Amino acid sequence: MEDKTLQGAIDSSVSAGIARITFSHPAHNSLPGRLLAQLTRAIDEAGQKEEVRVVILQSGGDRTFCAGASFDELAAIQDLERGHAFFMGFAKVINAIRKCPKFVIGRVQGKAIGGGVGLAAATDHCFATQFASVKLSELAIGIGPFVVGPAVARKMGQSAFQQLAIDATSWQSAEWARDKGLYSEIFPDTAALDEAVQKLAEQLAASSPAAMAQLKTACWTGTEHWDELLSERAKISGELVLSDFSKAAIARFKAK
């Protein structure tokens, strides 16, 4: 049987000043380490291109925006070094979005779980459909949303983050996520979502690159220490995923 961690893709395109980065994976757009590394590079490269004025981050398919970490890779972690390296994958993507001098618009067409919530929270402006419910499921498998936590708390507030982190088996609706600040707006379907994303992207593509870069820096004031912070958080998750509790929980999830 083909290993699903070897599937999936990151696709990038640029048109009229708009970079569109799409990640996809057959397992509900989960993100193994290989795709996380490619996604980081794609965001870095878009930020460095003079012709790019704004970046759209999206995923393939209709049902799920991102299911978070690859359970196949989580189950395969056998030591702290590999655990830290895996969770650094999400840390590097979040920091790439944070450091990108271009605004990153999130397009969330469906459910966001774990690391997927972190990606949505890290974008500078995020639109979603009514089907984009959210869940931070990490505690249920014996770890915790340590790496994505700073991004989620920054966008939604500490109270909303704690609600998601502690009640790790419950979904919260897209309306709830909008009211807490994760989504700027929600739409009835992907057609309306895409229209709104494109309209804002075109507006930003016609705006001053220098002014947007300065505004982006101002918006992220206070996060300059995140390279170190998210690395420390990745070590916590990397250690916890080695526990017997976590390994048993991951095995149960994989068996479903």
Residue 249, domain CATH = 3.90.226.10
Q: Is residue 218 part of a domain?
A: no
Task: Look at residues 189, 81, 190, 69 and name the one whose alpha carbon lies nearest to residue 141.
Answer: 69
- 98 close to 223: Cβ distance less than 8 angstroms: yes
Q: CB under 8 Å to 168, separation ≥6 — which residues? A: 135, 136, 137, 138, 139, 140
Local confidence pLDDT in tens for the 256 residues of the chain: 234 445 899 999 999 999 999 999 999 999 999 999 999 999 999 999 999 999 999 999 998 999 999 888 999 999 999 999 999 999 999 999 999 999 999 999 999 999 999 999 999 999 999 999 999 999 999 999 999 999 999 999 999 999 999 999 999 999 999 999 999 999 999 999 999 999 999 999 999 999 999 999 999 999 999 999 999 999 999 999 999 999 999 988 878 7
**Domain annotation covers residue 12:** yes
Number of domains making up the chain:
1
Residue 227 lies in a domain: yes
Tell whether 204 is covered by a domain. Answer: no
Predicted pLDDT at 254: 78
Query: Quick check: is 186 in a domain?
Result: yes
Residue 222 φ/ψ region, left for φ over 0, alpha for ψ in the -120 to 50 degree band, beta for the rest: left
- Residue 4, pLDDT score: 43
Tell me how far apart the alpha carbons of residues 183 and 185 are, in angstroms, rounded to a whole number: 5
Which pLDDT score is estimated for 5?
43
Under a CB-based contact definition with an 8 Å cutoff, are residues 11 and 51 in contact? no
Domain that holds residue 76: 4-192+223-255
In a domain, 212, yes or no: no
Is the residue at 202 inside a domain? no
DSSP state of 172: B
Task: Give domain status of residue 150, yes or no.
Answer: yes
Question: Please, which residues have CB within 8 angstroms of residue 89's CB and are 6 or more apart in sequence?
Answer: 31, 33, 36, 37, 40
DSSP-based three-state secondary structure for 156: helix
Q: Given the structure tokens 């993100």, which residue do they identify?
A: 31
